[in-house]
Amino acid sequence: MSFDHPWILVLLVWPLAVALGWPGPSLQWPGRVLQWPGRALSWWPRSAPQRPRWVLLRWRRPALGPAGPRRQRRATASRPAGGPLLRLQAPRPGRLLRSLAMACLILALAGPSLPLPSRGLAVAVVVDRSASMEPVLDQVTRTIDRLLTSDPGADLGGEPVQVAVISAGGVPAVERSPGPVPQPPLTWTAPAQRAATDLAAALRLAAASLPSDHRRRVVLISDGQQTRGDAVAEARALAAAGAVLDTVVVNPDPRPDLAVTGLDVPAAARPGRPAAVEVTVRAHQAGPARLHLMAGDRVAASRPVQLAPGENRFVLTVTPERPGPLALRAVIEAVPPSTSTEPANDAFDAVLQVEGARPVLVLSPHPDPPLARLLAAQGIPVESRRPAQRPADLAGWERYGAVILDNVPAPQLGEAAMADLERFVRDLGGGLVMAGMPDTFGPGGYTGTPVERALPVHSDLRNRKNLPTVALTLVIDRSGSMAGLKLQMAVEAARRVAQLLTPADRLAVVLFDSQAYVTRPLEPVRNPGEVDRAFPAAAQGGTSLGSGLAAALPLMEGVKADVRHVIALTDGVSEPFDVTGLARAFRRQGVTLSAVAIGPDADRNTLAQLAREGGGALYEAADPGQLPTLLARDTALAARRFIRDEPFRPVVTAAPAPGGPGAILQGVVPSPVAAPGDPGSQGGPGAGAPGGPGAAAGPGASGVAGGGPQAPPGEGALLPPLGGYVLTAPRDRAEVLLAGEDGDPVLAAWFYGLGRAVAWTAPTAGPGIAAWTGGAAPEGTGPFARLWANIADWLLEGAAGGNIPWQVGARATPAGTVTVTVEGSPPLSGKVRLGDAEALLIPVAAGRSEAVLPAPEPGVHPVVVEPAGGGTGTLRTVVAVPYPAEFLQTGSDPVLMETLAALTGGRAVRLEAWDPRSALDPQGVPAPPGRWFLWPYLLLAAAALLPADVAARRLGWTWGSFRRLPAALATLLWPDRRAQRVQRAQRPGQLAQEEVRSAQRAAERVQQEAPPAQRMARDPRQLGAGPPGAASSQAGHPAAGTAGEPPGDSAFEPIALSTPAPDEPAPPARPVAAPTPSGPAAQPGWQGEGVLERPGAAGASGAQGAQPDQQSPAPAPVQDAGLARLQAARQRSRARLAERVRRHVDPSAGP
């Protein structure tokens, strides 16, 4: 046994002294006594002579008196001092229990513990399953099977053995929990984390999986090529925990492989100028290959190369086209392909920084959009593409400063591109503009999309008044071909359609396979999520589009709505039905019909005929992800509530001001804007600006006060008319710059995340903007050109971030992390984002801050730095993450494996020389270092002894009390006997009365069974009885008897059954029955309880008649046996009660 704090054991002297009976003094306060058990402390009385100041208290020995120890504790402490300070007494049970409790507490504070006994040997086998171990993994698995199927016999120590298997890699996993051997052969179930080798994490997991009460051994099977963690530090932790680490070194044979190990790029480049890059390729054998250099999503260079064994370097050139970071990727293609066995290391990524401002990307369905020409004429770098040529990932969007969606419907972008666009604005600080009509906002299918979340307006018009009511039915295919993603997208499409409907609109859902099912009747939509209940959990069955449309036709009959529309959706060929007749039946009821074809297997001819005859439109979804936007777009177009196609004059609702969104109106409207009716507020657009377009702008109108409230609709129009706009609603934090006649947003802007977004709901080309361009070509003329130049400048200003005195760099490390460095003064702090990971930017030196984040997948990824406070804007850069270093590892590291084994006292052997049965031998494995702590048990014992101490002092236990312990235990084991004893002790008088009544009943039975003559002699009612005084005077004449009987035969002495106490009133006397003519004697009456008395008249006897009362002789006293037993029982009861009272008053007297 050992103690954590052995010096505390000195305090055991205290409970030992208490056990020996050391009494303490008594504490006395001037004029009063503070009672403690056996001690008191008194101050020096004021009336006594002056004492020294240092004398604070004095100890007094309690005086002995005739009252005993109990009287001593009640005595005052005013007696003179003197006597010995310590006096030993014989310990009582209470004092001994108190001492034991104190000893348990002191021992618990000392922290005692015992060594844990060993319950056997536990072995954890850690197997490296990374990419470098794949050539020998089968051989290692067979070796482990020999270990698992072994039986530890007497030659291995005979102890029980448990074996666990741990899979090591990037993230370790428990392949098999500890269990006794032999075990079945090993089958790998955990996925192999082949991209990295973290031996430290695997050793840590192995140590945690082994039981602590066993001897522990860890066997590591690896090549020693760790790419993460510190295995040496973990081996030291195993040695400190008493575990032994044996290492088995594996040397995999090298395989033929080609790998791109480096891509060196210049520090900076300029657009239009070639830049040289160097590519490094490593080959295990000589042979031909082909080297490609990718710049973004295009091939910048490609040429055949001849490789030699070892490192090969090649120089390629690339010509950047636009400013910004350019993602480069070098790819080696083996010829023939069998010479490269690891495809993960065939490509290497890098980033080339191209100086200059980032351009604006204009996405438009037109090959040469007018808006792109307008921006180019203003000197803004611009690039135009069709929606199908959009960037493929977020890194592609990062190359642009702003993106303009010029009348692009949502289905042409796709869900993935819209999600990247939202992240481009929110996380990368880019700019976004949605402009044009009619294929934008709600009519373009953007309702509920990620792009709409980034815009300052939305398409939810359910709170508007005077909107046309809509009755819509969705006819959706639920056949087996719709299972999976198609059905999920159909549910999402129905949910987005429900978002476009107002409480006055109604929606129905009809599903069909081989037959039709009306899963939702035509009723209003209270919550868009409730439409999910109309769809099944699984898709099955055939395809019968005709059945679904036939079931939808009765739902639309007689429905009162401004717009009644049906959308049919299928992905296959339907069973034959009357397409033309069914479509015309819908048209006769005023119902339009649209169709959506999903995938290449859909019957487009049938669906096109349905849409043509039904007056709707045909939509083709190349992938299921387009379904939500297609259905939302068709619903918006069919409802005809989102477009106001009539000329109007926009109203200025914000003052031009630099810095904020108001900067967009600078040079477009006069600044400051005058209030309506103010003189001097007349003038065309751009008035007051020399050389501005005011002359071509048309007549002006009065304006609105700068920064004041919005002008009423129709008043304060300063700008020329526009040809219409798409109805939207502004968001809470958006700033509306131009509004329609009803207050609807025409031009709105806001800040979204780190970026900026603008919404232009009017046309961007055609007759609708003729008044803004003066009827001439839009390039560089009119307020329209000035407006869009301001929009581009405002968006690019936010993307550039201004003049920031910090430089951001990012690099990937072999440990699987990315280190972001910000250099500048003062040191910057904030937050860094890389993909979905975030980390804090912390200053580490003068003018230097760093953040470390986990590395994402290989490729080029944007990095965003958000300074604390947000006043300096955002910093951005990109980082090229290469493939993991695991894919370049070859050979083994036996030095590391031998070091790990030596630190723990284990052995390092090669796989070919390792005997698996040796791991089951407990020799050399120390006992478990764990300890069995005893302090909880000591605390429990103290908690049990303290109540016993209180009970011993309160109940006055003595050593003689323990002789009654068996009886007490018997009482606890048999509670019935205890209940009887308690009842007798609590109610002795009631028990005695019950015994009296029982004795009376027994006496009456005996008298009834006796002969008549004897019963006559025993019946006291047949005899005369005088008053108590007369009866007692006649008791001395036993020969006196009744007339006609021998003296002394039937005479007896009356006995009082219960005599009243002197201070209690006597019970009322019972009436005496009158003598009957037929009876020779009179009936006696009861004068007192238990006393027989004859009435005042003499009783009659025989023929002589009644005699005087004074001359009647008294009966002789005769004692009944039952009454004698009653008296004896009463005396015993009184004796027991007196004994209980005596023991309660003086428990120390003993039994």
**Mean pLDDT value across residues 552-563:** 86
Which one has a higher pLDDT value, 929 or 388?
Answer: 388
Instruction: Considering only residues 395 and 994, tell me which one the structure prediction assigns the higher pLDDT.
Output: 395
CB 355 within 8 A of CB 269: yes
Give the pLDDT score at 1138: 83
Q: Smallest Cα–Cα separation from 1033: which of 1123, 1098, 1110?
A: 1110
| 3 state DSSP class of 569 | strand
**Domains in the chain: ranges and CATH:** 121-254+895-929 (3.40.50.410), 258-341 (2.60.40.10), 360-460+645-800 (3.40.50.880), 470-641 (3.40.50.410), 806-873 (2.40.30)
d(C-alpha 698, C-alpha 719), whole Å: 8
20 DSSP assignment: T
Average pLDDT over residues 418-428: 87
pLDDT digits (tens, 9 = 90+) for 451-466: 999 999 988 776 676 7
Long-range contacts of 36-40 (CB under 8 A, 24+ apart): 37/73, 37/953, 38/62, 38/73, 40/77
| Axis-axis angle for helices 231-240, 894-904 (nearest 10) | 20
Lowest mean pLDDT segment, chosen from 128-137, 425-434, 625-634: 625-634
Mean pLDDT of the chain, nearest integer: 75
| CA 714 to mean position of chain CA atoms | 55
Rounded to whole angstroms, the Cα distance separating 1036 from 1040 reads 9
Token couple for 546: 């005709």
pLDDT over 80 at 416, yes or no: yes
For 217-247, what is each residue's pLDDT tens digit? Answer: 999 999 998 988 899 999 999 999 889 999 9
Tens-digit pLDDT profile for residues 1026-1049: 444 433 333 344 333 433 344 443
8 Å CB contact between 326 and 366? no
- Report pLDDT for 823: 87
Whole-number Å distance between alpha carbons of 62 and 87: 11
Residue scoring higher pLDDT (1070 or 333): 333
C-alpha to C-alpha distance for 821 and 839, rounded to whole angstroms:
12
* Closest C-alpha to 292, from 281, 283, 306, 303: 303
Provide the token pair at 712.
């009423």
Q: How far apart are CA 344 and CA 938, in angstroms?
A: 62
Please name the residues in contact with 45: beta carbons below 8 A apart, sequence gap of 6 or more: 30
Triad 1026, 1032, 1037: Cα angle to 5°:
95
Average the pLDDT over 384-394 and give the result: 87
| Length of the chain counted residue by residue | 1151
Q: What is the pLDDT of residues 493-505, one digit of tens each?
A: 888 888 778 788 8
Tell me which amino acid residue 1023 is: L
Q: Quick check: 637 pLDDT over 90?
A: no
Query: Burial letters for 399-408: b for 16+ Cβ neighbours within 10 Å, e otherwise?
Result: bbbbbbbbbb
Kindly list the strands in the beta sheet with 275-283, ordered across the sheet, starting from the edge strand earlier in the chain. Answer: 258-264, 275-283, 310-318
**852: pLDDT confidence band, cut at 50, 70 and 90?**
very high
What stretch of H or E contains 1015? Answer: helix 1012-1018
pLDDT class for 577, splitting at 50, 70, 90? confident
> Given a cut of 80, is residue 178 above it in pLDDT?
yes
Contact 122, 214 (CB under 8 A): yes
User: HSE on the CB side for 181, CA within 13 Å?
Assistant: 31
- CA angle at 251 for the pair 246 and 252, rounded to the nearest 5°: 130
> Is the separation of the CB atoms in 805 and 825 below 8 Å?
yes
DSSP string, 240-255: HTT-EEEEEE--PPP-
- pLDDT attached to residue 873: 64
**Core vs surface per residue 239-262: b (16+ CB within 10 A) or e:** eeebbbbbbbbbebeeeebbbbbb
Is residue 491 pLDDT above 70, yes or no?
A: yes
